[in-house]
Chain A
Amino acid sequence: MKHEASIREPLIIGNKSLHDISEDIAKPIETSANKWWWSLFILSVITMLWGFGCIFYTIGTGIGVWGLNNTVGWAWDITNFVWWVGIGHAGTLISAVLLLFRQKWRLSINRSSEAMTIFAVIQAAIFPGIHMGRIWVAYFVFPLPNQFGSLWVNFNSPLLWDVFAISTYFTVSLVFWYMGLIPDFAMIRDRAVKPVFKKAKNFKEKISNFFKEQTSSYNIYSILSFGWSGRAKHWQRHEVMSLVLAGLATPLVLSVHSIVSMDFATSVIPGWHTTIFPPYFVAGAIFSGFAMVQTLLLVMRKVVNMESYITMQHIEMMNIIIMVTGSIVGIAYITELFIAWYSGVEYEQYAFLNRATGPYWWAYWAMMTCNVVSPQLMWFKKLRTSIVFTFILSIFVNIGMWFERFVIIVTSLHRDFLPSSWSMFSPTFVDIGIFIGTMGFFMVLFLLYSRTFPVIAQAELKTILKSSGDNYKKG
């Protein structure tokens, strides 16, 4: 048993025993949902369907139903894509990087933030798909063997790197997440009521038994837990596997958004063509990812009564990360301005002046306010330990980060080299509908998750109860 300095704040408060933890975490799964959950769920389903409708309209009619034009070839589509991918960064960072750094406070939040990651990456993946003019030939982007002779993908293209980076990231995140879920699924399985049936006479009876209300949860979770029995060997393999996957996932945290940033950095467009992009995008991604974790967990800890596990200590820790990454992002913005001036390239200089003072000045200053100014308020302990403030700020950061991508994409494109082609962009209802729709889709997934998955990695959390638990710490 690891000893923890008494000066550290406890990570589990309330007089929790190991059994209490199991009870608390299994509770949302074993009880039925309240009307708040249902109303939120219905709302999310409606927005999701609205978004799907807009997607089908786009695919059926043409990309022209969006607000794009000859000059601005990407706008909300890629803004949303980068935004969602960015959000998907916190989960892996928390579960993999913090695992390697042995940060125990990750244990209460890693499950949900990884779920968020996976759901966010699903949303993100929608956009590069539907933004294609001919989605029905989307398989061209995979290096598939074919009979067309030398027809092959273009490995010079950052969009192709995206395909590999994101699919790898998604796969590793999913596997890593699932790995942690196995012991917890087993716990749910073991708690399930399982009346004894007579041996099924035929296949039909077997199926119907499976879905009998009393047993279905047992059956489903027993499949999901892959026959986990909690033997020492299982635990040992589990630990090793987690470490290996953490080692694999850690570089991905850095690579995915670096590669996404290269979509812009390798181009020639002033405002895109910037070598600082990879680290700046990664910092921004972590920044927005943590903000989204805050937004979701602040609501969830309340709704499913997880206050004992997601404590002020956790919130404060995340706020500090938001503050630090926000400052990195701020420095990146200022560096960009400096380099634009220092480069002596007039296109570059104009691009940045135009961002700040041109027709999209409001987007730029919204971004600056939300991303650079507001996180600085976290220097005050009073503010960073205020739940209301944290919640508002997390929303601010998410808005700010959306605007960051909008500013980079749209304000760089709308006025590039030849003034004759300068243009503006304005979204249509379809642009907006698809974005709102992905939020709905994301919420649908997250709400379903919060009622069917153990939202906290209880097995792992139990390991720190005796070192960081409130009651144990006190004495």
Chain B
Amino acid sequence: MKEEKKYFNSLNHDTDHVNGANEFDEKLSVEAMMENADTLSASSTTRRDFLKFLGFSSVAATLASCEAPVVKSIPYLNKPEEITPGNPVYYASSYFSENVFGSLLVKTREGRPILLNSSHNPKFGGGVNARCQASVLSLYDSNRLKNPMRDSSEYSWKHIDAEIINQLKNTSKKIVLLTSTIISPSTRSLLELFKKTYSNFETIVYDTISKDAMLSANQKSFGSRFLPTYDFQKAEVIVSFDADFLSEWLDPAHAKQYTANRKPENGKMSRHYQFESLLSVTGANADKRVPIKPSSQQAYVLRLYDALLALTNNQSIKSTKTKHDNLINQIAKELWSNKGKSLIVSGSDNTDVQVVINAMNMLLGNYEKTLSTTIKSKLYSSKNEDIDSLITDMNDNKIGVLMFLNTNPIYTLSDSDRFKNALEKVKTKISFSESLDETSMFCDYVCPDTNYLESWGDLNPYTGFYALQQPTISPLFNSRQVQDSLLTWMGNTVKYYDYLKTFFKKNISNNWNQVLHDGFLNKISDKKNAPEDYNFSEVMSTRSQATKSQIEIQLYLKSSIGTGIHANNPWLQELPDPISKVTWDNYLTISPSHAQELGLKNWHVSNGALDGDMVKLSVGDKHLKCPIYVQPGQTHGVLGLAFGYGRENAGKSGSNVGVNAFSLYEKFNRNQIAKVSIEKISGVHEFACTQNSHTMMGRNIVKETNFSDYLKDPKSGNKQFLLHSHKGNVKPSELTLWDEHEKDVHFWNMSIDLNSCTGCGACVVACHAENNVPVVGKEEVRKNRDMHWLRIDRYYSSDMTKERAKEEGVGAIEMYKKMEEPASSENLEVVFQPVMCQHCNHAPCETVCPVAATTHSREGLNHMTYNRCIGTRYCMNNCPYKVRRFNWFNYAGNEQFDYNMNDDLGKMVLNPDVTVRGRGVMEKCTMCIQNIQKSKLDAKKERRKIKDGEIACACEKACDTGAITFGDVLDKDSRVSQEKKNPRSYYLIEELNTQPSVFYKTKVRNKKV
């Protein structure tokens, strides 16, 4: 303790101190002193020591009294070679869910997948829709099972395996795997292996949404059950009967093909006719849209077929007249003059209709040109009768073990009660569900499958096209991949990964590493086979008349929720429906004229939110209570209801949202004609709709032109707005009070092609994921407080225009009142416009902020400094585009907003490069400034300039159709500079002279003049 005085002599003398070996030569002997009273009293303390102790103890006491939050940050003990904290690592992988295949590039940060990009690589297939984008959040769903379960309690794999093997071995009855279509070749071979072990094993394919009609039609026409692949890009004339091919028909990749042939700059554009009952995304994009009833589709198809036949061999038209015979004849002529360059598709669940569709495509010589029978699509394969015979077998006590893979029949079957009752007769029920869904509730064993982002796999979606799936994170929970479970149960000790690799090398490609790197392997041969044998005689037998009914119902899929697998994904629940803009709901859509006839209505309450009448819907002996949504553009006499809602056991976000439309999906027919009735009942439903005014009110918001006009003048429909001034008529930018901002390094601009945007909403989800945009829930969306940085505005056309008002002498008040009304269903046109912060160079928001929290960057961007923001909301008021979003509450870590940001698991999806905003601050699109910054630093390190296309905003990456282009306009060769010169380019509300950095390109339709 007591220290002898030492005097400093020289450096050499005090070597210990100098070398640093004994930097702290003496420890404060706290222990010695405090340990017991004896030593304490024995010790003699000098004044200096006393002061040391005093200092120590007061600091210790102070530190102990203020508890700092403990955030554990554990460094890698052994750093993996490829991971550098702060740098993203990308893995190529694939998505296959709900019969949708997507080719992905998974962005991981510090070992966590946080964003899914479309790989944009495969020329063939591989579209990434909104549900695929959002599936990264489903990985972090707190509703996922943490452990395997037996009889609703957690159990160990070891015991479960033993019990199941025992059950499998001892059953003499059938062992059935009820699965959705399996496109994995190795899994299929594995199942064959399983059958070798258990000879009573059988696989039954059950796709939630059945494409049996198309498969059977091809069976009839070509003698084999398959789906063709389509190439909409090669089609000059497209006729679609109720096929929502841009969104939810067969393959999201069709949107990419479709828009590729709709670029007016190429001097040609396809013409698209859509006959449909509900207003779909595809119908909204069509050049000519005809609302028809589902029951009359057959008549239209036959009429068109006959019209085509008439052109072939001058036969007279036998089929009954339709309302649009002139149009049908005109279409037939157009199709005829585009033989081999046209495409007719139908979404009908009627095999007869599909047979005629095949016949027409054959007649037009489209096979092997715009659609292929040699490159088959393997995405759907189920047979409608199979599930029926399964239920019969179950009732007959023929099934001993029933396993569910990617199927949830108790939720998705129309007669789920029958299934439920039959299920009781099955001794062993095993589910592979990731979470405890409606079916696994009734299972004896739940052996949770790993999420696809945690799994290995191979996929063969199209003939000759292979893709690989690889884990991007090790399993979060004690779950096991199905294939591994099956291997274990057949007593095989091989891991599925090894099995897959061996199988892949043996049967598909030796070049495993390369395919894993690319994510896919294209072995499609360019050789064109002749079309398969075609059987024309089948067509003749299909001329039976369809029954008609006063009210028909058409079930449909929403691009946000789909079949309901992702119902617990709050990003998707909050993604507005592309057409109705309603979130967190399904509802019975009805045409305005029909609603009026029945005295049903929607109305806005005092805060602008939408309310609707409730009705009791009866289809046969099924009854549903659901709200009414009046949908312009819909056919009179048709009701629409979306699948995927009304789940009882989806999780905290997805349970009890809407009603279950699967109960009406009888005989796997999406339209039900017989005995449909609705009846108004008491009660009011509250909608959460993000857009409550539907027309452009005669304003130049979405500029539109027709292709014929475009060919004459590329600037058609895009008239330059001029202001009257003392200098004559000038552009708004020539009259300005403000000095220009300096832009000497970069000037970031974004181009949005309204002709390529289909309105699908994948970009909105990608923006959520990239920028940590919070989910606010139904109540808040209803109050018009959604937080989307990027929204897609949808406008309907109106029958009233300024020109018409002038002609008819309608006054301004009357004119505006009528303009608010969408046009009648027959004439309705729909446009979409993605709107995010326009990054104005003369930004109204920047001048009004009292604390300069929003400022202009030297690179043309409008910055938002969250830390400086005091939340006056003045910027939001003064934004002409209304793109600013205010944090009305704390959305992260708040019990009131119990979504992904309120649980530790869900928070793992957050992008570490982007701040999670607190309450009271304003936020908005930043043009993914974190990506810009990253690329700038990368370029700087490598001593080069930033390459065009190196920086991509999340929305741009998510857009399969390439509607969004981002880049530097100071770089004269960049794509965005070229776009800026395009005669179609214009600024939104240019007359305000806000000088946005975002510009739009006019919408061009190819209407028949």
Minimum distance in angstroms from A182 CB to a CB of chain B? 37
Pick the residue among B607, B847, B922, B988 that contacts A424 (CB under 8 A). Answer: B607
Q: Does B206 contact A (CB under 8 A)?
A: no
Q: In the complex, what residue of chain A is closest to B844 when comparing beta carbons? A: A268
Contact with B along A347-382 (1 / 0, CB 8 A): 101100110010000000000000000000000000
Do the beta carbons of B607 and A133 come within 8 Å of each other?
Answer: no
Q: How far is the CA of A159 from the CA of B875 in the complex (A)?
A: 11
Q: How far is the CA of A119 from the CA of B882 in the complex (A)?
A: 36
- Within A239-270, which residues are at the interface with B (CB < 8 Å)? 263, 266-269
Do the beta carbons of A132 and B882 come within 8 Å of each other?
Answer: no
Do the beta carbons of A140 and B835 come within 8 Å of each other?
Answer: no
Q: In the complex, what residue of chain A is closest to B817 when comparing beta carbons? A: A357
Minimum distance in angstroms from B336 CB to a CB of chain A? 41
Pick the residue among A69, A135, A413, A417 that contacts B989 (CB under 8 A). Answer: A417
Minimum distance in angstroms from B871 CB to a CB of chain A? 2
Q: In the complex, what residue of chain B is closest to A133 when comparing beta carbons? A: B871
Do the beta carbons of A64 and B877 come within 8 Å of each other?
Answer: no
Do the beta carbons of A134 and B871 come within 8 Å of each other?
Answer: yes
Q: Which residues of A are found within 8 Å of B784, using beta-carbon distances? A: 69-71, 423
Q: How far is the CA of A349 from the CA of B608 in the complex (A)?
A: 22
Interface size on A, residues (CB 8 A): 58
Known contacts A64-B780, A159-B872; A133/B921 CB under 8 A: yes
Do the beta carbons of B813 and A418 come within 8 Å of each other?
Answer: no
Q: How far is the CA of A38 from the CA of B454 in the complex (A)?
A: 73
Do the beta carbons of A133 and B606 come within 8 Å of each other?
Answer: no
Do the beta carbons of B848 and A62 come within 8 Å of each other?
Answer: no
Interface residue stretch chosen among B235-243, B530-538, B680-688, B697-705:
B697-705
Known contacts A418-B793, A421-B882; A346/B698 CB under 8 A: yes
Q: In the complex, what residue of chain A is closest to B852 when comparing beta carbons? A: A154
Q: Which residues of B are found within 8 Å of A154, using beta-carbon distances? A: 847, 849-852
Do the beta carbons of A350 and B695 come within 8 Å of each other?
Answer: no
Minimum distance in angstroms from B529 CB to a CB of chain A? 49
Q: Does B873 contact A (CB under 8 A)?
A: yes
Contact with B along A31-50 (1 / 0, CB 8 A): 00000000000000000000
Do the beta carbons of A350 and B886 come within 8 Å of each other?
Answer: no
Do the beta carbons of B870 and A420 come within 8 Å of each other?
Answer: no
Minimum distance in angstroms from B2 CB to a CB of chain A? 45
Known contacts A70-B886, A160-B850; A419/B872 CB under 8 A: no
Do the beta carbons of A267 and B921 come within 8 Å of each other?
Answer: no
Q: Which residues of A are found within 8 Å of B882, using beta-carbon distances? A: 70-71, 416-418, 421
Do the beta carbons of B919 and A133 come within 8 Å of each other?
Answer: yes
Q: How far is the CA of A14 from the CA of B269 in the complex (A)?
A: 94
Contact with A along B767-805 (1 / 0, CB 8 A): 000000000000010011110000101110000000000
Pick the residue among A70, A71, A350 that contacts B816 (CB under 8 A). Answer: A350
Q: In the complex, what residue of chain A is closest to B791 when comparing beta carbons? A: A420
Q: Does B418 contact A (CB under 8 A)?
A: no
Do the beta carbons of A69 and B785 come within 8 Å of each other?
Answer: yes
Pick the residue among B812, B849, B873 that contacts A353 (CB under 8 A). Answer: B812
Do the beta carbons of B872 and A69 come within 8 Å of each other?
Answer: no
Interface residue stretch chosen among B627-635, B667-675, B887-895:
B887-895
Q: In the complex, what residue of chain A is closest to B794 when comparing beta carbons? A: A420
Most chain A beta-carbon neighbours within 10 Å: one of B694, B785, B988: B785
Known contacts A73-B877, A153-B850, A424-B608; A418/B872 CB under 8 A: no
Q: Does B59 contact A (CB under 8 A)?
A: no
Q: Which residues of B are found within 8 Å of A67, using beta-carbon distances? A: 607, 783
Do the beta carbons of A133 and B869 come within 8 Å of each other?
Answer: yes
Q: Which residues of A are found within 8 Å of B871, using beta-carbon distances? A: 63, 132-134
Q: How far is the CA of A158 from the CA of B574 in the complex (A)?
A: 36
Pick the residue among A69, A134, A140, A267 that contacts B607 (CB under 8 A). Answer: A69
Q: Does more than half of chain B's interface fall in helix, strand or loop, or is it mixed? A: loop
Q: Which residues of B are found within 8 Å of A137, using beta-carbon distances? A: 870
Do the beta carbons of A157 and B608 come within 8 Å of each other?
Answer: no
Minimum distance in angstroms from A413 CB to a CB of chain B? 6
Q: Which residues of A are found within 8 Å of B849, using beta-carbon distances? A: 154, 157, 159
Known contacts A138-B870, A423-B692; A157/B847 CB under 8 A: yes
Q: Does A141 contact B (CB under 8 A)?
A: yes
Minimum distance in angstroms from B156 CB to a CB of chain A? 46
Q: Which residues of B are found within 8 Å of A62, using beta-carbon distances? A: 887-890, 919-920
Contact with A along B838-873 (1 / 0, CB 8 A): 000000100111111000000000000000111111
Q: Does B881 contact A (CB under 8 A)?
A: yes
- Within A130-156, which residues are at the interface with B (CB < 8 Å)? 131-135, 137-138, 140-141, 151-154, 156
Q: Does B992 contact A (CB under 8 A)?
A: yes
Q: Does B696 contact A (CB under 8 A)?
A: yes
Q: Which residues of A are found within 8 Å of B693, using beta-carbon distances? A: 415, 419-420, 422
Do the beta carbons of B874 and A157 come within 8 Å of each other?
Answer: yes
Q: Which residues of B are found within 8 Å of A73, using beta-carbon distances? A: 873-874, 876-877, 886
Do the beta carbons of B874 and A140 come within 8 Å of each other?
Answer: no
Minimum distance in angstroms from A388 CB to a CB of chain B? 34
Q: Does A436 contact B (CB under 8 A)?
A: no
Q: How far is the CA of A133 from the CA of B870 in the complex (A)?
A: 6
Q: Does A210 contact B (CB under 8 A)?
A: no
Q: Does A15 contact B (CB under 8 A)?
A: no
Minimum distance in angstroms from B854 CB to a CB of chain A? 9
Do the beta carbons of A419 and B697 come within 8 Å of each other?
Answer: yes
Contact with B along A207-227 (1 / 0, CB 8 A): 000000000000000000000
Q: How far is the CA of A346 from the CA of B813 in the complex (A)?
A: 13
Q: Does A68 contact B (CB under 8 A)?
A: yes
Do the beta carbons of B868 and A151 come within 8 Å of each other?
Answer: yes
Q: In the complex, what residue of chain B is closest to A61 when comparing beta carbons? A: B889
Q: How far is the CA of A417 from the CA of B869 in the complex (A)?
A: 25
Q: How far is the CA of A67 from the CA of B872 in the complex (A)?
A: 15
Q: Which residues of B are found within 8 Å of A131, using beta-carbon distances? A: 872-873
Do the beta carbons of A152 and B852 come within 8 Å of each other?
Answer: yes
Do the beta carbons of A418 and B850 come within 8 Å of each other?
Answer: no
Q: How far is the CA of A350 from the CA of B813 in the complex (A)?
A: 9
Q: In the complex, what residue of chain A is closest to B698 when comparing beta carbons? A: A346
Do the beta carbons of A70 and B785 come within 8 Å of each other?
Answer: yes
Q: Which residues of A are found within 8 Å of B118, using beta-carbon distances? A: none
Q: Which residues of B are found within 8 Å of A415, using beta-carbon distances? A: 693
Do the beta carbons of B888 and A63 come within 8 Å of each other?
Answer: yes
Do the beta carbons of B791 and A133 come within 8 Å of each other?
Answer: no
Contact with B along A61-84 (1 / 0, CB 8 A): 111100111110110000000000
Q: Which residues of B are found within 8 Å of A426, using beta-carbon distances? A: 605-608
Q: Which residues of A are found within 8 Å of B694, using beta-carbon distances? A: 419
Q: Which residues of A are found within 8 Å of B850, using beta-carbon distances? A: 140-141, 153-154, 157, 159-160, 163
Q: Which residues of B are found within 8 Å of A267, using beta-carbon distances? A: 844, 848, 877-878
Q: Which residues of A are found within 8 Å of B794, using beta-carbon distances? A: 420
Q: How far is the CA of A64 from the CA of B784 in the complex (A)?
A: 11
Do the beta carbons of A140 and B868 come within 8 Å of each other?
Answer: yes
Q: Does A281 contact B (CB under 8 A)?
A: no
Q: Does B280 contact A (CB under 8 A)?
A: no
Known contacts A134-B871, A267-B848; A350/B697 CB under 8 A: yes
Q: Does A425 contact B (CB under 8 A)?
A: yes
Q: Does B427 contact A (CB under 8 A)?
A: no
Do the beta carbons of A418 and B888 come within 8 Å of each other?
Answer: no
Minimum distance in angstroms from B896 CB to a CB of chain A? 9
Most chain A beta-carbon neighbours within 10 Å: one of B608, B786, B794, B872: B872
Do the beta carbons of A349 and B812 come within 8 Å of each other?
Answer: yes
Minimum distance in angstroms from A430 CB to a CB of chain B? 12
Q: How far is the CA of A413 from the CA of B876 in the complex (A)?
A: 10
Q: Does B543 contact A (CB under 8 A)?
A: no
Do the beta carbons of A153 and B835 come within 8 Å of each other?
Answer: no
Q: How far is the CA of A383 from the CA of B697 in the complex (A)?
A: 46
Q: List 9 A-B contacts (CB under 8 A).
A: A73-B876, A134-B919, A141-B850, A141-B851, A157-B847, A159-B874, A268-B878, A420-B791, A422-B692
7 more A-B residue pairs beyond the given contacts A67-B783, A269-B878, A426-B608, with a C-beta to C-beta distance below 8 A: A64-B888, A141-B851, A156-B847, A157-B874, A159-B874, A417-B989, A417-B992
Closest 6 CB pairs of A and B: A133-B871, A133-B920, A64-B888, A424-B608, A426-B607, A73-B873
